[in-house]
């Protein structure tokens, strides 16, 4: 099935915003990269801000779906769920959702309306993650504490747009996932070390 015009536009916008930034990327540049006319681009998106917001929301929705699917697995422990999430995020389709790169290059350009929408999505992710943390506390694998606060700390490590320097030297995706997992578990596990 052929990719939709809107899909091509979003894909082009992901590339442009992650390679350049919001300020230097024009709608004309996005249209050219997508292989559509500016009229077609404006038919789908009234403004660059609207396009940028939709891009961020779609990325957030992807991660919400991943988190919920993993959290609902009843056959694995909380620690296994955390590892699985980290691995899925590390292996996320980079060309489709370069969210870390987009956020780090464009944080100052995100409008208040977009920030509010992203905060709503972030809260959804935190609630799902807090459920996994509660499970881990119950299983005595994660230290007793406020699950919401622990979930925020875990999320900050996973999605820190400025933290890529921590793993840039690790080219292998599994090595990256193991490093992040170890870093998190050393902070929240009941034993303070990997099992």
- pTM metric for this prediction: 0.74
Residue 107, pLDDT > 60, answer: yes
The three-state secondary structure class of 145 is coil
Q: What does the DSSP assignment read for 76-144?
A: S-HHHHHHHHHHHHHTS-TTT--HHHHHHHHGGG--HHHHHHHHHHHHHHHHHHHHHHHHHHHTTSB-S
pLDDT band at 178 (very low <50, low <70, confident <90, very high): confident
pLDDT value of position 164:
52
Distance between CA atoms of 15 and 29, rounded to whole angstroms? 11
80/143: higher pLDDT: 80
pLDDT value of position 35:
96
Domains of the chain: 49-188 (1.10.357.10)
pLDDT band at 195 (very low <50, low <70, confident <90, very high): very low
Q: What is the mean pLDDT of residues 57-71?
A: 88
Tens digit of pLDDT for each residue in 38-61?
999 999 999 998 998 888 888 888
pLDDT value of position 31:
97
């Amino acid at each position: 099935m052929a990719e939709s015009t809107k899909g091509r536009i979003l894909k082009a916008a992901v590339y442009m915003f992650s390679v350049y930034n919001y300020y230097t990327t024009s709608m004309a540049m996005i249209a050219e990269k997508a292989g559509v006319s500016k009229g077609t681009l404006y038919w789908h998106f009234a403004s660059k801000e609207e396009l940028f917001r939709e891009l961020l929301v779609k990325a957030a929705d992807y991660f919400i779906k991943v988190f919920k699917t993993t959290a609902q697995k009843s056959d694995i422990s909380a620690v296994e769920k955390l590892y699985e999430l980290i691995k899925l995020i590390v292996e996320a389709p980079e060309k489709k959702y370069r969210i870390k790169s987009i956020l780090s290059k464009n944080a100052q350009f995100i409008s208040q309306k977009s920030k509010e929408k992203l905060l709503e999505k972030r809260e959804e992710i935190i609630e799902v993650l807090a459920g996994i943390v509660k499970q881990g506390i119950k299983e005595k694998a994660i230290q007793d504490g406020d699950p919401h606060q622990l979930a925020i700390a875990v999320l900050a490590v996973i999605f820190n747009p400025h933290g890529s320097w921590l793993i840039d030297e690790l080219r292998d995706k599994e090595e990256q996932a193991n490093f992040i997992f170890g870093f998190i578990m050393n902070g929240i596990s009941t034993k303070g070390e990997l099992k």
